[in-house]
């Protein structure tokens, strides 16, 4: 099964809709709660990052018997130093984003912890693509 969503730049109000819709689908499919939890934590964090740090993008989710693969691709500034970005506590979030309670530098570490595989492709000035896999078996 394949699902596609779009992420709008700076639109925090609707952020989380894709994660919420994926959660409903996984529930209907009878995926076990622990895997649903991992999936939605990772997807929400990636979605928020595309809103907060980039200029929006797309989400593609593929679900089969064995795994869930989520690809979040943004048109954004890219990540100059992935090792640094993966460190808990590192953040370049703007004042506005911090005021909302983001910017703890915990999003990418949360994604890493909650997925079985995380691939980050990033190009400065072009964008960032996160490929996140949750194994179901």
Partner 1 sequence: MTVKEIIEKLDLKCLNEANLDAEIKGAYSSDLLSDVMGNARSGQMWITMQTHKNVTAIAALKDIPAVIIVRGNQPDEDMLAHAKEEDICILVSNEPTFIVCGKLYELIK
Ligand X SMILES: Nc1ncnc2c1ncn2[C@@H]1O[C@H](COP(=O)(O)OP(=O)(O)OP(=O)(O)O)[C@@H](O)[C@H]1O
Q: Among 13, 15, 136, which residue's Cα sits nearest to residue 72? A: 15
Among 5, 19, 68, 76, binds ligand X (CB under 6 A): 76
Binding site for partner 1 (CB under 8 A): 12-13, 15-17, 19-20, 23, 33, 37, 40-41, 44-45, 48, 100-107, 109-110, 113
The CB-of-88 to partner 1 minimum distance in angstroms stands at 9
CB-based burial label for 86 (10 Å; 0-12, 13-18, 19+): middle
Q: Among 88, 57, 85, 87, which residue's Cα sits nearest to residue 73? A: 57
Dist CA 22 CA 104 (whole Å): 25
Nearer to Mg ion, 29 or 100 (CB): 100
Binding footprint of ligand X on the chain (CB under 6 A): 45, 49-50, 52-54, 74, 76-77, 79, 85, 90-93, 102-109, 128
């Amino acid at each position: 099964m394949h699902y596609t969503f779009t992420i709008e730049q700076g639109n925090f109000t609707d952020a989380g809709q894709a994660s919420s819709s994926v959660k409903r689908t996984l529930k209907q499919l009878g995926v076990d709660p622990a895997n649903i939890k991992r999936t939605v934590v990772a997807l929400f964090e990636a979605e928020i990052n595309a809103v907060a740090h980039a200029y929006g993008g797309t989400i593609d989710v593929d679900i089969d018997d064995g795994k869930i693969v989520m690809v979040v691709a943004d048109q954004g500034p890219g990540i100059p130093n992935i090792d640094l970005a993966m460190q808990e506590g590192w953040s370049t979030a703007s004042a506005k984003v911090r005021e909302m309670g983001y910017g703890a530098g915990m999003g990418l570490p949360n994604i890493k912890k909650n997925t079985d595989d995380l691939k980050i492709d990033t190009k400065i000035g072009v964008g960032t693509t996160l490929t996140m896999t949750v194994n179901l078996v």
